[in-house]
Amino acid sequence: MELMTNHFQKIFGLSKPILIAGPCSAESEKQTLETAHELKKHKNLIFRAGIWKPRTRPNSFEGIGFKGLQWIQKVKEETGLKTTIEVAKAEHVELALRHQVDILWIGARTTGNPFAMQEIADALKNEDIPVMVKNPINPEVNLWIGAVERLQDAGIYNLAAIHRGFFTYKNSKYRNIPQWQLALDLKRKFPDLPMICDPSHITGNSNHILEIAQKAMDMSYDGLMIETHIDPENALSDKEQQITPLELEVILEKLVVRNFEIDDKEFKATLNQLRIQIDDLDIELLDVLKRRMDLVEKIGHHKKENDVTILQNNRWLEMLKSRVKYGEEKGLSEVFIQQLLKAIHQESIDKQNSVMNKK
């Protein structure tokens, strides 16, 4: 069965982009309700709060647990907002359903754990509740796909994905690097799956929320999840990345929401012209790559005849250096050239390997 297109809009009558906001964690009844009351003016808003918090290290605030569910229920009664919480095991699912939570989400640490995902999927069998699936912590798109499939197999078709970035050992501007390509890979697998971006967990820093939120809008994401707390400085979890409801308003005012398509003839004609040129260039690019690979095969034969190894590291390092320099002069980024050359180099090695292994 197919995923329903933008079912979140259909279910709740919300328009794009859907906004999910609320604190990282429900900490007290007062903090939860005050935050919700400040947010209720946004008509597209779904209220989020973590009840059980999966923390990297023990002895951190691990969520308020069961009693927080009553606060979430109160949010619903007092503000009329729809609510969403994270579930990580069957017991959470049962309690959330019992407390009329409207939408569930699966956290990044759970998506990457097939046992937990299966337990949740089993607990959700025959339930009619939308579920959002965050990407796993590590950049393995198959875990994300697998989590969605487990839920589909349990008969849950009201699904969305939340892109919250991926862990990296490298020094990076962001807490979790976005790796937009991986989110696009998921989208390719499930074209109708609504995509929500979580700039809070991507950036880990309240100063960078807008830039990531804008990128997501530019890429036609269906919604945003932004951690919002009445007093971020004193938040019990993720305080560097939480913003106040007022700061959220400022961000929303600055955000440019682009149309996926517009019905303007001139716009379409110009876009088509540019796309035709891109199509031509891509063909040229592929032809050049084919010519390059033919040369690589010739080198492979030459090395084989002379009993020389395939990988010659000095040559590779020199190539990389000179190409990066040339590319940078042309305004292409170092990271891009490195990634491109690495992919080309890998294919070249594979080609030469197959020449070497031919009898």
- Point out which residues bind ligand PEP (CB under 6 A): 24, 50, 107-109, 134, 164, 201
**Choice between 50 and 194, CB closer to ligand PEP:** 50
**Residue reference for tokens 């003839």:** 265
Position of minimal CB gap to ligand PEP: 107
Q: Half-sphere exposure of residue 307, counting CA atoms within 13 Å on the CB side?
A: 0
Can you tell me which of 238, 296, 324, 351 binds Mn ion, judged by CB under 5 A?
Answer: 238
Can you tell me which of 24, 51, 93, 159 binds Mn ion, judged by CB under 5 A?
Answer: 24
Nearest to 31 by CA among 225, 244, 180: 244
**Binding segment for Mn ion among 23-31, 89-97, 98-106, 288-296 (CB under 5 A)?**
23-31
**Binding segment for Mn ion among 16-24, 41-49, 107-115, 301-309 (CB under 5 A)?**
16-24
Q: Does 86 bind Mn ion (CB under 5 A)?
A: no
Q: How far is the CB of 182 from ligand PEP (least distance, A)?
A: 14
Q: How far is the CB of 277 from Mn ion (least distance, A)?
A: 44
Q: Which option in Mn ion, ligand PEP, none does residue 74 bind, with CB closer than 5 to 8 A by kind? A: none
**Choice between 222 and 238, CB closer to Mn ion:** 238
**Choice between 24 and 337, CB closer to ligand PEP:** 24
H-run or E-run covering 335? helix 334-357
Q: For residue 176, what are its two tokens?
A: 């979790």
Alpha-carbon torsion, ordered 56, 94, 151, 132, to 10 deg: -60
Residue 47: phi and psi, rounded to 5, are -90, 125
Q: In 64-78, which positions are buried (b, 16+ CB within 10 angstroms) versus exposed (e)?
A: beeebbebbeebbee
Tell me the Ramachandran region of residue 24: left when phi exceeds 0, alpha when psi lies from -120 to 50, beta otherwise.
alpha
Q: Which option in Mn ion, ligand PEP, none does residue 37 bind, with CB closer than 5 to 8 A by kind? A: none
Q: Quote the strand ranges of 183-327, DSSP E.
A: 195-197, 223-227
Q: For residue 37, what are its two tokens?
A: 């009351």
Q: How far is the CB of 109 from ligand PEP (least distance, A)?
A: 6
Asked whether the beta carbons of 11 and 39 are under 8 A apart, the reply is no
Q: How far is the CB of 221 from Mn ion (least distance, A)?
A: 19
Q: Which option in Mn ion, ligand PEP, none does residue 108 bind, with CB closer than 5 to 8 A by kind? A: ligand PEP
**Choice between 24 and 230, CB closer to Mn ion:** 24
**Choice between 133 and 154, CB closer to Mn ion:** 133
